[in-house]
Structure 1
Amino acid sequence: MRGPRSLSGQLMLWITATITLVWLVAVGFGALVMRDEFGEIYDSALQETAERLVPLVVDDLHHRGDIDDPQRIEVTRSAPEETYLTYQVRDPAGRVLLHSHMAAAAPFDAPVKVGFWQSRTGRIYTAATADESIFVQVKDSSDERREAMTEGALALLLPVLLIVPVSIAAVWFVVRRVLAPVETLRAAIGGKDGGNLAAIETAGLPQELRPILRSVNLLLARLRAVLAAEREFTSNSAHELRTPIAGALAQTQLLLAELKDAPTKARAQQIEASLQKLAKLTEKLLQLARAEAGIGVAETTFDVADVVAVVVTDFQRAAADGGRIRFSSRLDGPAPREGAADAFAIVLRNLIENALLHGRAGEPVEIEVSAEGNVRISNGAPRMSEEELAAVRKRFSRGKTAAAGSGLGLSIAARLLAQMGVSLVLTSPIPGRVDGFQADVVFSASA
């Protein structure tokens, strides 16, 4: 399938083809005119030569007397390699009386009649004395005319072979200069994403591109407003949804403390478990909504070491199995990265929560921060195939695990990291082991 063609390439192609065609048409018309002019020049030379030879031939025949056989005119100087004109002197009966040294003794294939005649081998002009007793026929070769025409056409065509490349170079230079603002605008628009929605500057753009730039800037302003509204809505929704669920859960727990009847208490415990599951699912859905709103892309920076330390400390203190976490860092100082600290914290929370929830009970969850600022989280788990690793990235998709969960953690993390321009690499088994699961958060080298 052919990809999109560039505007500058199409302009250069069509302009070059047009220039070349125009030059070739001009050369063709020039060759036609030149052929007609050459024909007139050759015909004039034939006629002038024949008419000038008539008195000379009559005088020569007068001195020779009667001629029974054709007489060849000998030349005293060396004959040229190429002879353009040959002639014959004939009587009214067509008999050849005299002929030039390069002409054959056989009569020319032309009638004994004053005027031009086009034969198979050349063009002939016949001149005669006043009483038409002597006829002089002068002939030039068709090959000579054709050679002259060919050389003349080549003389017109050869400069074109030089002019066309020069024209192409000039067209390329002009097109690049004229379309430079278009390329600048294209690059500026192509660099816009959810985290870079600032208005594009209008300096240096031609008048024809300013309406396009104005429309793009208006669109960017609307996108900024929409994204801000979405982020504000999800933030407010998170607060509004957490409060009633937390209240219902607290009331259920108070009810459990007061209930003595076992069947009634068992139903209340089921309600508590459902509310806890709903609270976790609501939290994941709110995180997913924030990820879809583009919170991962922001024109700010955060320190990887600080965010990782806060999240790990929070799990170690709050989670029931936080003691399984083994944290190590090779960073010697701050590791600033572009993006939102809140979004990166959500990523770490989901990855660590998945490792604690789906990892083998009793085996540690190792969290490592490399000297480059990359984060690695690994846990014990059954070996997974490439298809299973690809599947767990999808929403509501879960691996081979009996633990409770919504199947949204990895998809949320992958979505946020993609917005931040960070790679999430999932590996199973862990290198050097026969099983295990490992998630690497890898920042680009230029970060």
Structure 2
Amino acid sequence: MTRRLILSLTFAMTFLWLLAVGLGLVVMEEELAEIFDGTLQDTAERLVPLVVDDLEHRGMLGSPANGTSSAAPQQLQTGSSSGDHEYLIYQVRDPSGRVLIRSHDAPEQAFATPLKGGFWKDATYQFYTATNDDRQIFIQVADAFENREEAVREGAIALFLPLIFLIPVSGMLIWLVVRRAVRPVGELRREIETKDGGNMEPINASMLPRELQPIAVSVNLLMTRLRTALDAEREFTSNSAHELRTPIAGALAQTQMLIAELTEGSSRHRAGQIEASLTRLSHLAEKLLQLSRAEAGIGITDKPTDLTRILDMVLTDFWRSMADPARLVFKRTPGAQLIGPFSEDAFAIVLRNLVENALVHGTPGEPVEVFLDDGGPVRIVNGAPRMTEAELASIRKRFSRGKTEAGGSGLGLSIVERLLGQMNGRLVLLSPASGRDGGFEARIFLS
């Protein structure tokens, strides 16, 4: 917007200046023509009494006008004989048209101009003819059009030449003024860009210009409504998770007790199937609730958090629930930390899903290794057959599962990517794992 505004103002200003100069040249040409014509007329009329007195003194006034005299016309010796150019030339003619007197640069032959008072022009000169009272003497003064063209040309140069410097200077001034004028717009834009699920603080509208204050007020109202909706959704999700887990867990416990009481037979087998279905339902409900929490934006926060502690807690939970805790290996570089404005709940869900996938879908008997390097990503590596790029892209889709016989809902990676997107992080999947011929590796990058 700033660039477009600067260019538009510069082009508009340049066009208007050029238009003004063009119109000024037209007016200047007309005014110069009037000035030159006035000078031409004044010169001719002032010469009339001088020439009449000179001719009477010489006794040339009243000479035969039949053209029988062979004397050449008298040439006035002026400063022009030194090579200076005469802007005005003239001839003094009698009623027969014979040239009696001429200026230094005037031709010896008579001008092809009628002997009558007033203006007359040809392709080269503008003439003015003046005469005395008894019309015995005609003074014809000529002004070359090239003199007028030269004056207009020099005037045009004098008008256009400053524009070469004024246009870039004006462009710079426009740039400075526009940048200063739109600076509040840029500040408002940056303030709005920082607003998300983790930063709902209102914008300070008092520091903005009056024209932008309604926008800031509207954004603040919208964020207030959004914050209220997010809080209500998160509260509903949390309550729903508790209410949904309880009946499923109760039904699963009752089913397990029923299995323990039944003897071998079809009833015990059916009760086992019910237990397996309730276990799958519990797992699916857990994933759906995690996905719902991810959609609610729990991964966004504005407070720095030490995620290293969360990493230890999640792995400890896995070790306590595993039949073979030695299969899960944690390798941490001494002094490595993971601190940033990240949600503890979101990171715990991300880590739990990735570790669970590694344990469930990894090659049985092979260890699952979790790496935390100083300043690097969190890496989860497990044994698995080598996968193609197409297969890696496929398992990222919601409800999509790879070539595995293990149970699962196909939601784990979708939840992970959703939460990492809210945390300004990303998930990278590698197969084979780095430094191996096979295996599977998931990397969590947090910026």
TM-score by length of 1: 0.91
Alignment correspondent of 1:282: 285
Alignment correspondent of 2:318: 315
Q: Per the alignment, in what secondary structure is the counterpart of residue 130 of structure 2?
A: strand
Kindly report which structure 2 residues correspond to 1:291-370, keeping only aligned pairs within 5 A, or say none.
291-332=294-335, 334-370=337-373
Whether 1:25 and 2:19 are equivalent positions in the alignment is yes
Contact 2:314 2:351 in 1 (8 A): yes
Alignment correspondent of 1:133: 136
Contact 2:361 2:406 in 1 (8 A): yes
| Root-mean-square deviation over aligned CA pairs | 2.2
* Closer, same or farther: CA 334–18 of 1 in aligned 2, 3 Å: closer
What is the CA–CA distance in structure 1 between the aligned matches of 2:197 and 2:22, rounded to whole Å? 59
**CA positional deviation for 1:111:** 1.8
**CA positional deviation for 1:263:** 2.1
**CA positional deviation for 1:443:** 2.5
Q: Per the alignment, in what secondary structure is the counterpart of residue 109 of structure 1?
A: coil
- Structure 1 unaligned segments of length 5 or more: list them: 1-5
1:371 to 366, 370, 374: 374
Could you report, residue by residue, the CA deviation over 1:246-296 in whole angstroms, capped at 9, with x for unpaired residues? 111112112222223522222221111111111111111100000000001
Contact 1:305 1:331 in 2 (8 A): no
**CA positional deviation for 1:68:** 2.9
Kindly report which structure 2 residues correspond to 1:62-211, keeping only aligned pairs within 5 A, or say none.
62-63=58-59, 67-68=69-70, 70-71=72-73, 73=75, 75=77, 77=79, 78-211=81-214
What is the CA–CA distance in structure 1 between the aligned matches of 2:131 and 2:287, rounded to whole Å? 115
What is the CA–CA distance in structure 1 between the aligned matches of 2:113 and 2:371, rounded to whole Å? 107
**CA positional deviation for 1:399:** 1.9
1:31 maps to a residue whose letter is L
Could you report, residue by residue, the CA deviation over 1:87-130 in whole angstroms, capped at 9, with x for unpaired residues? 12333343444432322234333322110112111211011222
Kindly report which structure 2 residues correspond to 1:374-389, keeping only aligned pairs within 5 A, or say none.
374-389=377-392
Q: Per the alignment, in what secondary structure is the counterpart of residue 442 of structure 2?
A: strand
Alignment correspondent of 1:15: 9
* Closer, same or farther: CA 109–360 of 1 in aligned 2, 3 Å: farther
What is the CA–CA distance in structure 1 between the aligned matches of 2:440 and 2:251, rounded to whole Å? 37
Name which of structure 1's ranges 365-374 and 340-349 shifts more when overlaid on structure 2.
Answer: 365-374
What is the CA–CA distance in structure 2 between the aligned matches of 1:80 and 1:324, rounded to whole Å? 112
**CA positional deviation for 1:74:** 5.3
What is the CA–CA distance in structure 1 between the aligned matches of 2:112 and 2:240, rounded to whole Å? 108
Contact 1:324 1:364 in 2 (8 A): yes
What is the CA–CA distance in structure 1 between the aligned matches of 2:71 and 2:360, rounded to whole Å? 126
- Structure 2 unaligned segments of length 5 or more: list them: none
Name which of structure 1's ranges 131-140 and 105-114 shifts more when overlaid on structure 2.
Answer: 105-114
What is the CA–CA distance in structure 1 between the aligned matches of 2:334 and 2:246, rounded to whole Å? 39
Whether 1:249 and 2:243 are equivalent positions in the alignment is no
* Closer, same or farther: CA 283–69 of 1 in aligned 2, 3 Å: farther
2:77 maps to a residue whose letter is V
What percent of counterpart residues are identical?
Answer: 54
What is the CA–CA distance in structure 2 between the aligned matches of 1:197 and 1:350, rounded to whole Å? 29
Contact 1:360 1:380 in 2 (8 A): yes
Alignment correspondent of 2:431: 428
Kindly report which structure 2 residues correspond to 1:384-403, keeping only aligned pairs within 5 A, or say none.
384-403=387-406
**Residues matched between the structures, number:** 438
Q: Per the alignment, in what secondary structure is the counterpart of residue 172 of structure 2?
A: helix
1:82 maps to a residue whose letter is H
Whether 1:264 and 2:258 are equivalent positions in the alignment is no
Q: Per the alignment, in what secondary structure is the counterpart of residue 107 of structure 2?
A: coil
Contact 1:331 1:369 in 2 (8 A): no
Contact 1:256 1:269 in 2 (8 A): yes
Alignment correspondent of 1:3: none
Contact 1:329 1:368 in 2 (8 A): yes
What is the CA–CA distance in structure 2 between the aligned matches of 1:378 and 1:119, rounded to whole Å? 100
What is the CA–CA distance in structure 1 between the aligned matches of 2:174 and 2:82, rounded to whole Å? 53
Whether 1:40 and 2:34 are equivalent positions in the alignment is yes
Q: Per the alignment, in what secondary structure is the counterpart of residue 273 of structure 1?
A: helix
Q: Per the alignment, in what secondary structure is the counterpart of residue 427 of structure 2?
A: strand
**CA positional deviation for 1:333:** 6.1
